[in-house]
Amino acid sequence: MSIQSLAAPQMSDWDSSAPLLQVKDLRKTYNDQVVLAGVDFDIHRGQVKAVLGPSGSGKSTMLRLMALLEPADGGEITLKGARIGVKQRGDRFVPRPERELARERIDIGMVFQRFNLFPHLTACENVMLGLTTVRKVHKKDAREQALAILDRVGLSHRAHAYPAELSGGQQQRVAIARALVMNPAVLLFDEPTSALDPELVGEVLDVMEGLARDGMTMIVVTHEVRFARRVADQVTLFDGGVIVEQATPDEFFDNPQHERTREFLRHVH
């Protein structure tokens, strides 16, 4: 099977001036607890959006729904103008089967708080796994691509080390390389530095900042306020399952319009 046949459907009529990834009225409830209460969110190609907010506000859930890791209870998600995660059956939409979801996920990379590396595989083997199993790339070619991506995140010298032999920051950079090697259209980060010792945070943020300079489209759920201010094109505050405020970094941090934003910033500062 060719790589092309496994890739997400091509949207040749997509207008690149429109949002690359967009959610409308996104809703999710767990055990009668509303986690997302009708969220509208979009990102354009090349943008970096930082998402801030207290724990339990719905930030990570939004990313998981965008990444098609679990289904939404309502609303819709579009990628390059085409609705994803569901297909039409008669007059209603139903979730796609897992095989079809796997094809759609290729365009949406996800980096988790916990690194989720396979402990029995080397850094290089962890990175090349998606290429060989999902894209069906020949192992030799996959290894070359994996080594090139590891070099991009500054870890070519640790390509043959196992996760237990790497620091937390190095493991997270391997996880970023694993997402990058699939060449996603958008990269989602869910608190990528919160599990790291403070002295290791900088090396991961440096890699992410480099990706931003290279034009990678990124949505970053984070508590790193300085990173959000320095790197993001827009900063969003989540609370109670809704978006409270969204603005440019200067507007968000220097002239917030909502009292909840001002209260949040007083606490984080």
> pLDDT (tens digit, 9 = 90+) per residue, 166-218?
999 999 999 999 999 999 999 999 999 998 998 899 999 999 999 999 999 99
pLDDT at 9 over 70: no
What pairs with residue 111 in β-bridges? 189
Write down the mean pLDDT value for the chain. Answer: 91
CATH number at residue 169: 3.40.50.300
pLDDT at 134 over 70: yes
Give the confidence band of 267 by pLDDT, cuts at 50, 70, 90: confident
Task: For tokens 């095989």, name the residue.
Answer: 99
Domains held by the chain: number: 1
Q: What is the DSSP string of 5-59?
A: HHSPPP-TT--TTS-SEEEEEEEEEETTEEEEEEEEEEE-TT-EEEEE--TTSSH
Q: How far apart are CA 106 and CA 84, in angstroms?
A: 12
* Digit-coded pLDDT (tens) for 40-82: 999 999 999 999 999 888 999 999 999 999 999 999 999 999 9
Q: What is the DSSP string of 77-145?
A: EEETTEE-SEEEETTEEEEPPHHHHHHHHTTEEEE-SS----TTS-HHHHHHHHHHHTS---HHHHHHH
The edge-to-edge listing of strands for the beta sheet with 186-190 is: 108-111, 186-190, 218-221, 48-52, 234-239, 242-247
pLDDT at 124 over 80: yes
List Cα–Cα distances, 251 to 48, 100, 106, 237, 261, in angstroms.
16, 41, 34, 13, 11
Residue 146 sits in which domain range? 3-268
DSSP 164: G
* The pLDDT of residue 232: 96
* The pLDDT of residue 35: 93
